[in-house]
Chain A
Amino acid sequence: MAGAADLLGPKADRAFGLKLVAPAMIILIVLLALPTLLTLVYSLHDVPASGSSFGPFVGLENFTIIFSSPVFWRSAQVTLTFSVGFVILSTVIGLAMAMLLNQRFIGRGLARALLIIPWATPWLVIGILWKWFADGSVGGLNAVLMMLGLTSDYHPFLSDPNTALPITVLAAVWRQASFAGILLLAGLQTLPEELNEAAQLDGANWWQRFSNITLPWLRPVLITVTVFNVIYAFLQFDVVFAMTQGGPGDTTQVLSILIYRQLFVNTNIGLGSALAVILGVVALIGGLTIVRLFYRREMH
């Protein structure tokens, strides 16, 4: 990379490039860098509810309060459970759907159009839809279970502390698996058919072809999809807000819901900002870990 400067064009070209990028750069600095910095500053202060001043500097006191609070640790645990379920299920179901829709069958075009619908649906709408779908008195999920003879009566999934979290995970997965499926299907379509045919002639069975050809081919797409899934998992707000608002009790209170409550219900801006900083750092670490994990395996 010693000659990186050589890749740049003449001075006038560089100046023109900078002029084209300048508006976007200024907007992003003002709207992203500045608020991020302000949130960091807020997190170190005891900000008054009005937010009109920073209030007294308290150092890391907000973080100390958070880390010694059982509410935070309970919420962190819920976020982790939600995220692990969400990431694994979204990726696996997405991969299964992509592999299925890459086969030849009648109606494939229509099936591929169907795959897009959950992805095009707003997160909040997915929350509302699944809240009622899983409802204990008029829900469709109960109707299906009853018709299949699996249950004899309706079950209030979202007010039962044991089933509330799994159902919210399922609702979020319904959307995100489609996103993963769309990207992975596009990746599969670029896989040269000759590779699989040659392997088949050599007597490789389905599993051998899947693990030795398909999965390695999809690795870059899988990394992207998984990183997206991790970020969406940690930052999920809409679905949980629409379905349970964190309840029953605190069984579905993910960190983003806790931040919302701190900032806008308890109007504790300092504490809420400190929580937001923690969430941001966790999402960042989560995303980077996935990237590192995949690339390290590649080296072996």
Chain B
Amino acid sequence: MASSAFERGRRRSLATSVAIYLGVLVFAIWILLPVWYLVVSSLITPSQLGVKPFPLVPSSVTLDNYAAVLFGNTGGKGIGSTDMGTRLVPTIGQSLLVSSILVVLNLCIAGAAAYGLSRYPFRGARVFELSVIATRIVPAIAIIGPFFVAFRVIGVLNTPWALVISYNVFTLPLAIMILKNYFDQLPREIEEAAKIDGATRLQTLWIIIVPIARPGLVAAGVLIFLEAWSEFFYALVLTNQLTVPPLLAGFQSVQQFNWNALAAATVMSMLPPTVLVLIFQRHVVGALTAGVGK
């Protein structure tokens, strides 16, 4: 790979190559500098943090901040009296719970809907599809009032259910759009063959479509997970720091809480979505771009 890149690159002038590598350098700094700052902050002590200028290459590193946010080992390191050490891990668990339930629910409901829209269009199917796309413009913040009131009445405020229910507002349309695009590009021949062999519509869907649609389902699943994991506003208003984002926001407003420990908690919160996306990079980017321009 590298050698072919070299050979092809030879057709470029030296000036072009220099410009490209300079561009890559600027690009790497743009992406990595804030991330590097975060990671270094999570690995140094508060006294190292106080040095001006900030030690971009620290002389020594420590895992104390991670111990503090994961196990509550404050060890007199100035974390203060917050209960963050005991709260981050259970909160990560709650975030995982909410996100996973949503992924499973949405894949079933949106999968069925997308398949129906793609293969068995009915009167009004197109209108429904367009309304699903239009929902992306409805500001989530604009409709939180009714949710707040309704959830208080039925008593699900501050439970995972408040989020599992309300997150459908953005995850379900997203999943339907992505899976509809995916089903549209799957060949129909196999289904027609199954039909001739006497399979019912439901059998065809379960036995034939679900297995071959796995890449699309994985991509949609990752994107639903990402939205649910990242969501902040509904979790802030409808729960008392039930998931990671509002917990991090809460830590930030605690006076005694220092940036080193918050940085460690922030790194922890970035890991699941980043790892997931990097693993399924190809699927996710494919799904994201499949419907573009339609």
Q: List the interface of chain A (C-beta within 8 A of B).
A: 5, 7-9, 13-21, 23-25, 27-28, 31-32, 34-36, 38-39, 42, 51-52, 93, 97, 100-101, 103-108, 111, 113-125, 128-133, 135, 137-140, 142-144, 146-147, 154, 174, 178, 182-183, 186-187, 220-221, 223-224, 231, 234-235, 237-238, 241-242, 256, 259-260, 263-264, 269, 272-273, 276-277, 279-280, 283-284, 287
Let me know if B281 is at the binding interface, CB within 8 A: yes
> Which one of B40, B117, B169, B229 contacts A17 once the chains associate, using CB atoms below 8 Å?
B117
B53 touching A51, Cβ below 8 Å: no
User: Given the complex, which residues of B lie within 8 Å of A51, measured CB to CB?
Assistant: 145, 148-149, 152
Let me know if B90 is at the binding interface, CB within 8 A: no
Q: For the complex formed, measure the closest distance between the CB of B116 and the CB atoms of chain A, giving whole angstroms.
A: 3
A-contacting residues, B1-57, CB 8 Å: 2, 5-6, 8-9, 20-21, 23-24, 27-28, 30-38, 40-41, 49-50, 52-54, 56
- Interchain residue pairs A-B with the least CB separation, the first 4: A220-B293, A17-B120, A20-B116, A122-B230
Q: Complex: how many Å from CA A111 to CA B36? A: 15
Q: For the complex formed, measure the closest distance between the CB of B11 and the CB atoms of chain A, giving whole angstroms.
A: 10
Q: For the complex formed, measure the closest distance between the CB of A144 and the CB atoms of chain B, giving whole angstroms.
A: 7
Q: List the interface of chain B (C-beta within 8 A of A).
A: 2, 5-6, 8-9, 20-21, 23-24, 27-28, 30-38, 40-41, 49-50, 52-54, 56, 109-110, 112-113, 115-117, 119-123, 125, 128, 131-132, 135-149, 152, 165-166, 168-169, 172-173, 176, 201, 226, 229-233, 237, 245, 248-249, 252, 259, 262-263, 266, 269-270, 273-274, 276-278, 281, 285-286, 288-289, 292-293
Q: Complex: how many Å from CA A146 to CA B53? A: 7
> Which one of A28, A104, A223 contacts B8 once the chains associate, using CB atoms below 8 Å?
A104
A contacts with B: majority SS: helix
B120 touching A16, Cβ below 8 Å: yes
Given A17-B119, A221-B293, A264-B237: A235 touches B140 (CB 8 Å cut-off)? yes
User: Given the complex, which residues of A lie within 8 Å of B54, measured CB to CB?
Assistant: 138-140, 142-143
Contacts beyond the supplied A17-B116, A116-B274, A140-B40: 15 A-B pairs with Cβ under 8 Å: A14-B122, A17-B119, A20-B112, A20-B115, A24-B176, A51-B152, A120-B226, A120-B277, A121-B230, A122-B231, A137-B50, A235-B139, A237-B232, A256-B141, A272-B145
Interface centre among B116, B125, B172 (most CB of A within 10 A): B116
Q: For the complex formed, measure the closest distance between the CB of A193 and the CB atoms of chain B, giving whole angstroms.
A: 11
Q: Complex: how many Å from CA A241 to CA B274? A: 23
User: Given the complex, which residues of B lie within 8 Å of A287, measured CB to CB?
Assistant: 137
Residue of B nearest to A190 (CB): B289
> Which one of B138, B146, B270, B285 contacts A34 once the chains associate, using CB atoms below 8 Å?
B146
Q: Complex: how many Å from CA A260 to CA B168? A: 21
Q: For the complex formed, measure the closest distance between the CB of A261 and the CB atoms of chain B, giving whole angstroms.
A: 12
User: Given the complex, which residues of A lie within 8 Å of B28, measured CB to CB?
Assistant: 111, 114
> Which one of A5, A17, A35 contacts B146 once the chains associate, using CB atoms below 8 Å?
A35
Given A21-B128, A120-B273, A287-B137: A186 touches B285 (CB 8 Å cut-off)? yes
A39 touching B146, Cβ below 8 Å: yes
A28 touching B141, Cβ below 8 Å: no
User: Given the complex, which residues of A lie within 8 Å of B270, measured CB to CB?
Assistant: 120-122, 125
Residue of A nearest to B251 (CB): A128
Residue of B nearest to A130 (CB): B34
B109 touching A280, Cβ below 8 Å: no
Task: Supply 22 A–B pairs (Cβ within 8 Å), ascending by A.
Answer: A14-B122, A16-B120, A17-B116, A20-B116, A23-B113, A35-B146, A36-B138, A119-B277, A120-B273, A124-B249, A125-B248, A125-B266, A143-B53, A143-B54, A187-B292, A220-B292, A235-B139, A238-B233, A238-B245, A260-B141, A276-B143, A279-B139
A128 touching B262, Cβ below 8 Å: yes
> Which one of A15, A142, A178, A223 contacts B293 once the chains associate, using CB atoms below 8 Å?
A223
